[in-house]
Amino acid sequence: VISSLHHVGIAVEDLEAAVQRYRSVLGLEPSHRERVEDQGVEEVLFDVAGGSVQLLGALGPDTPVGRFLASRGPGLHHIAFGVTDLAGELSRLRDEGARLVDEVPRPGSRNTLIAFLHPHATAGTLVELVQQEG
């Protein structure tokens, strides 16, 4: 069961320049920054009304976001929904035959467990499910 719109992930070419844009154009201040080595990204979060915008910079060209930028350019990368039982959601999705990127939950930033669904399962947009830990 999806309980919230957790965040929207935006791929950017230049993370520092994008952060400055969000500050100056949108008047938002970053709330969190984290380098997630196993996902090949550095992310900066802006909290807005219970959810966040997550700017994603690639740590190199041969990373998921690096390849996304090369093929599609900067812009919407994924949307993330909050769930309370990620393992249960994944087994429900498997039972329904939905195509998954992650078969089992893995660690995300800010003390979360995450899993991605394949865009083919969700009408073309990469979807992430997020379970808050503690």
Contact residues for Co ion (CB under 5 A)?
Answer: 9, 80, 128
Q: How far is the CB of 60 from Co ion (least distance, A)?
A: 18
Q: How far is the CB of 57 from Co ion (least distance, A)?
A: 13
Q: How far is the CB of 9 from Co ion (least distance, A)?
A: 4
Closest to Co ion by CB, 42 vs 128, is 128
Report the distance separating Cα 34 and Cα 32, nearest Å.
Answer: 7
Return the DSSP state at 131: E
Closest to Co ion by CB, 95 vs 130, is 130
